[in-house]
Structure 1
């Protein structure tokens, strides 16, 4: 999605001929339906969203072209791949409920090199535990919710950062955002929003607070907000939340 946002913001994009580009693939993070629609309209192409990890030999699911494409979904398992969603009790989650994605196939890795404990943690009875949370609809289409380790537990409430991120990204002044949990003595964790504004845009904390309170439950509103010129990313454009947590920890100690 990061690349598609960048291409849409490129001022000279209309000077290039994209007519030979029939299909595009999206992965690494959730693709917002409005971004998909805008890109496909602008470049007259089709984005196919999927999901996979290095441990699953990249691809595990796709919005497959011979089936209905559902914006916001990572599609259904490809041939030879079995997927379950497992709740906190180890039971299979019913349609509509959130569970951890676990995958079984002939393409799963044998293990991490020289890391037996890490391998044992994710490979259990032939299934690979991804650490990603998702829900499935009645037809088996999967929708990513968040990373299990990114979930924020505040005063007993389980809060998915991606839900807050999507809302914040709907603000016209915000270009990028990452929501993380930070330690709090009272609530266990508090919510921090790390924000990059669009070029030339301005946004006060009071304006942002009003925007959030009008659109989400109070307990989901960020307690802390920090503005950045850019967020740390890996080579594929995924925001490095671990790095942001490290930065926040250093700032708190200082």
Structure 2
């Protein structure tokens, strides 16, 4: 990757003006929700770019009137809804730093993160303060608590209704501009500090990738607290796409919405795409007009790619997979078409982004590994975060010069394509790649909604399976599907809802191992498997 240039160093992607710039550029483009905004429920479900821009301006004025000032940390932790995004943009508008904490975090985890932030502002709601946070001494951890509703022990944002609009405040491109958190799959999440410059360096290549579908209606079911959401939003608003935001991904709820709006762009989490396989032949053909699917956060199963692309009636639909993490943004990409999906290797996650990212494989000594040789995946990117807040040593440990250790094992072929094997922490000696076997099982057993292979008490591979409609696992079919695979323990059948997951529906494998080794869990035989 070429060295950084001063011109690139000075560029910035700022959240505050996102909706206002889009409204000025494209006018009254429609934005559709599946539930009303908590900050203004009376507006209903059918909104526009200019209306959302006005809401951001209004919320920014209220926050300034409440006392929020530039560079201060403002935590947004509330029930899942699009107003998380509007609040983040409003905080950014006045030069403060939005800190986005997932609605799915447990109360004690939120408490520890608030403590790490050293008396931030908190924007929340009644559901959080009377629910997960009820036993947390929030008042002693934050400067002040603001609420989008009538939550107890909080100042309602409505108190500042009618506050004068405030002029935008723009921080230096290398100052902290956004704080998100890591997935927390192995413990408490880390707080990732982004700046406008590194965010701009992630945005530019994604704009180039979005050019072929510019202006198409986009349907999104994504975590509103993940940095990926804001870059995707930046691309879609830049090109003037009508937007459909989905908070309830269940096919019974999402299917009719998709059928009515017939999007040309669909992005969600890989596990949601597995769920939406049911929509491939659903009434109203909800996926028939999709030209481009996009998947990030985790690798996607080949079976799912094939079903999604097969559901589209467009002449040449594709699915784009991005490989990366919160700390780096996307560092590699892979395109699938109907033809390539039929012979896809789910472990191939693509190539680096020319001019913006580089990828290498390092051996145990930190040297570059030969093609085909497995090792640690490392990335060099202009989009890397500034630091982990309050954990600089942990951040430094993941750096080898300018190379960032992704925490994954993989290899590159002779043409430079990157293949993912497993997370380092998830590897099992008896299995070459848990992810590869999971792909095989998902392709062989269409009834599976999820399969996760984790180490058991004696480091033996234990498959945990979830079936569609909670049907019992057919053990005869299971034995046929696994006959040529490495020996594994008996399958454990769980409900999908019981799997510990992150806000992006990424399975917490380490937590599953703790659950398996810490308590007895039924096998498929005792759960009624045939």
TM above 0.5: yes
Which of 45, 50, 63 aligns to 2:334? It is: 63
Q: What SS does the corresponding residue of 2:456 show, helix, strand or coil?
A: strand
Q: What SS does the corresponding residue of 2:406 show, helix, strand or coil?
A: strand
Q: Give the direction of change, closer, same or farther, for the CA distance of 1:90–1:208 in structure 2 (3 Å limit).
A: same
Shift of 1:204: 4.8
Which of 437, 442, 450 aligns to 1:164? It is: 437
Is this contact kept in 1: 2:438–2:452, CA < 8 A?
Answer: yes
* Matched residue, 1:148: 424
Is this contact kept in 2: 1:191–1:224, CA < 8 A?
Answer: no
Q: Give the direction of change, closer, same or farther, for the CA distance of 1:64–1:200 in structure 2 (3 Å limit).
A: closer
Shift of 1:139: 1.7
1: CA distance between counterparts of 2:285 and 2:491?
38
Is this contact kept in 2: 1:182–1:190, CA < 8 A?
Answer: yes
Which of 338, 343, 351 aligns to 1:76? It is: 351
Is this contact kept in 1: 2:399–2:405, CA < 8 A?
Answer: yes
The alignment's TM-score, normalised by the length of structure 2, stands at 0.41
Aligned residue runs from structure 1 range 1-12, under 5 A: 1-10=270-279
2: CA distance between counterparts of 1:239 and 1:33?
18
Is this contact kept in 2: 1:173–1:197, CA < 8 A?
Answer: yes
1: CA distance between counterparts of 2:411 and 2:291?
29
2: CA distance between counterparts of 1:176 and 1:54?
24
Which of 491, 506, 509 aligns to 1:238? It is: 506
The alignment's TM-score, normalised by the length of structure 1, stands at 0.82
1: CA distance between counterparts of 2:465 and 2:276?
20
2: CA distance between counterparts of 1:221 and 1:210?
13
Aligned residue runs from structure 1 range 5-154, under 5 A: 5-10=274-279, 13-16=282-285, 18=287, 21-43=290-312, 44=314, 45-56=317-328, 58-63=329-334, 71=344, 72=346, 73-78=348-353, 79-153=355-429
1: CA distance between counterparts of 2:437 and 2:518?
24
Is this contact kept in 1: 2:361–2:411, CA < 8 A?
Answer: yes
Matched, 1:222 2:488: yes
2: CA distance between counterparts of 1:199 and 1:18?
21
Shift of 1:16: 4.9
Superimposed CA distance per residue, residues 121-170 of structure 1 (whole angstroms, 9 cap, x where no aligned partner): 212212110111222222211122111110012xxx45421122223222
Is this contact kept in 2: 1:145–1:160, CA < 8 A?
Answer: yes
Q: Give the direction of change, closer, same or farther, for the CA distance of 1:12–1:61 in structure 2 (3 Å limit).
A: same
Instruction: Looking at secondary structure, tell me which structure has more helix per residue.
Output: 2
Root mean square deviation, CA, Å? 2.7
Superimposed CA distance per residue, residues 230-251 of structure 1 (whole angstroms, 9 cap, x where no aligned partner): 1222222211212212211321
Is this contact kept in 2: 1:7–1:13, CA < 8 A?
Answer: no
Instruction: Looking at secondary structure, tell me which structure has more strand per residue.
Output: 1
Q: What SS does the corresponding residue of 2:320 show, helix, strand or coil?
A: strand
Is this contact kept in 1: 2:280–2:310, CA < 8 A?
Answer: no
Q: Which runs of 4+ in 1 moved over 4 A?
A: 16-20, 204-207
- Stretches of structure 2 lacking an aligned partner (at least 5 in a row): 1-269, 522-530
Which of 469, 481, 485 aligns to 1:199? It is: 469
Q: Give the direction of change, closer, same or farther, for the CA distance of 1:41–1:246 in structure 2 (3 Å limit).
A: same
Larger Rg, first or second structure (1 or 2): 2
**Segment drifting more, 135-144 vs 194-203:** 194-203
Is this contact kept in 2: 1:85–1:98, CA < 8 A?
Answer: yes
2: CA distance between counterparts of 1:46 and 1:167?
22
Matched, 1:176 2:450: yes
Shift of 1:176: 1.0
Shift of 1:11: 7.8
